Structure formats: C-alpha cells, structure tokens
Amino acid sequence: MASLSSTGLDPATFPARPAQSYAEALTRVEALQALDGPTVRPDSGTRLWTHGAQTARSIVFYHGYTNAPPQYNLLGEQFFQAGYNVLVPRLPHHGLQDPLTTDQMNLTAEELITLTQETTDIAFGLGERVTIAGLSCGGVMAGWAAAFRPDVFLAMGMAPAANFPFVPMWVSTSFRKLAPRLPNFFIWWDPRVKDKLQGPPHAYPRFSTRGLGEIFRMARVLYDYADHQAPLAQHISLTTSAFDTAVSNKTIYKLIARWRKHGATVETYEFPKEQKVWHDIIDPANPTGQIDITYPVVTRMLTAYD
C-alpha cells in the first residue's frame, strides 16, 4: 500500500526486527553505545539498567528534544528496582559536551524513526513484555510505537511535541514543509537569560528550527495514518498538562480522537492548570519540575495493565 502521508515517510520502509534473545539485545545496545563518541558528555550516552537476563517486563524511555538520557536517571532506577530491564537511548545529535552545539540542526525524522524501531526491537530481547514511553519529542517516538507496533504491550506519550502551542495544525505543517528550505535558526528556551538558563547541565539552552520541523514531520505521519487506521499497540496512554505552553495539547487530543473513532482505547490524564506543571514532567534536575506530583501519575499509568 502506498504511503498515506505527504511527509515522504512510509512506515513500511522501517521494518521491525525484534531481538530473538537477551544476548542479541545486548549486542545491539552495545552498537548504540558505540555511537557515544568523545564529543558526548560522559553522563549522557545510551544507558541500560539490566538484571543480567531477560525479565518479564522491559521498558524504553525516550528523552525530550534538547535533553539527554539523564532526564530518566531517577525514573529509570525506580523501574529497574521494580524488576524491569530499562533502556534509555541517546537521541541523535543530543547529549554533546558543547551545550551550544549546532549539530542538533542535523536531526532528521528518519533518524528518530530508525531509533524508535531499533530500540523497540531491542526491548523484546530485554523483556517478555515491552513498554515504550517518551516525553516531548520522545512522546512522538512513543506515538510511532503506538501507531505501528502491534507487538508493543503499552505505548505512553507524555506531552508529545506534535505542534506549536495555540495554533492550528496547518501552521506546524507549513513550518515542517518550509523548515528544510529555510535558513536554520536557533531559539533560546528563555531569551531573557539565553545560555545562562538554569536547568539540567545535560540539556541544551536553545533549539533548532530545522530539528523541530523534523519532529513535526514525524508527528504528521501519525496524524495522517490515524485518518485511515487504528493504532496497533495493545494499550496506549497519554499524559498532558493544562499548564504546558511548549506544545499543543489540542493537536494531541485530535489525534487521540481519530484513534478512538477506529475503536482504540486510550487512557488519558491531564494535570490541572492550577498545579502549574511545566512541560518537562520527568527530569529531577529541572528547577521547575514537580516530580512529587508527576511521578505517581506517570508510574500508575505505566503499570496500569500489570
């Protein structure tokens, strides 16, 4: 069947190759870790927590755009202690020692999809039952697993970065189409303080418009295919925050509505606005984080079907 998306991305061109054993999974994790060269921060490479053998459950956590694997240091440890094998891959062009690196502008949707497929495949060697979860850009990656991986037990997106906030989907679609042809710009997360941003040392203080356009390009595939087919994962969950001004919750709930029209069951939870939960609900090093509020919700949703 021809691709249903105008993005040039066809899920059929990214086939699944699930690991057939724990040993194969380790070999494939080592191949990912070999990509963590000398320009990567010592704390920011692909991380694996393992019990030394395949466990009943494995989980893959995807970090957010401009963040890095340490975003999941605490949550990953909690799930490891609960008996999971845990994999947190480094996204391409992330976790570099130079926080002002221009390399992040080279991020592509193809790279993100390839990593999603590879790490999901690896997870089947790490655990008998696989959960995929991600925040922001990682939430879009988890959405890919939700849409196209029938072998995934649970896929959970957290504040997926599918669209600009407060604008219609067509604005992000136009931006996504134009971004590769326009000069790249770097935008400070907080233009008042620029590179003096108080936050996790492993995160970048600015983002690339070209890289963001590629994340939106990947998200558009989910939106397009949802018009025609139900998501394939066995269980799907989503969490958002009404206080979040970094992404468009409206766009995500439109995607969920499309999935539900096909009969899919999607568990959702939105942190109420009065709790003032910011976009990054995971990183314990984030000064605006409220993990005392967010972690119990995230953990409940990730273990709801255990």
pTM of the model: 0.95
What the chain holds in terms of domains, given with CATH numbers, is: 11-302 (3.40.50.1820)
Residue with tokens 């935008």: 187
* Residue of 253, 227, 248 whose CA lies nearest to 170: 248
Q: Residue 42 is encoded by which pair of tokens?
A: 């010592």
Task: Enumerate the β-bridge partners of residue 131.
Answer: 59, 154
Q: How far apart are CA 7 and CA 297, in angstroms?
A: 34
- Range with lowest mean pLDDT among 50-54, 187-191, 239-243: 187-191
pLDDT score of 216 more than 50: yes
Q: Name the pLDDT band for 94 (thresholds 50, 70, 90).
A: very high
pLDDT in tens, 139-166: 999 999 999 999 999 999 999 998 765 4
DSSP 187: E
DSSP letter at 116 equals H
Using DSSP, state whether 158 is helix, strand or coil: strand
pLDDT of residue 1: 47
Beta strands 55-62 and 127-135 are: parallel
What confidence score (pLDDT) does residue 12 get? 95
Q: What does the pLDDT read at residue 34?
A: 98
Cα distances (Å, whole numbers) of residue 258 to 147, 229, 251, 252: 12, 9, 11, 10
CA pair distance 283, 292, nearest whole angstrom: 12
The answer to whether 5 touches 221, Cβ cutoff 8 Å, is: yes
From the number of C-beta atoms within 10 Å of its C-beta (0-12, 13-18, 19+), residue 299 rates as middle
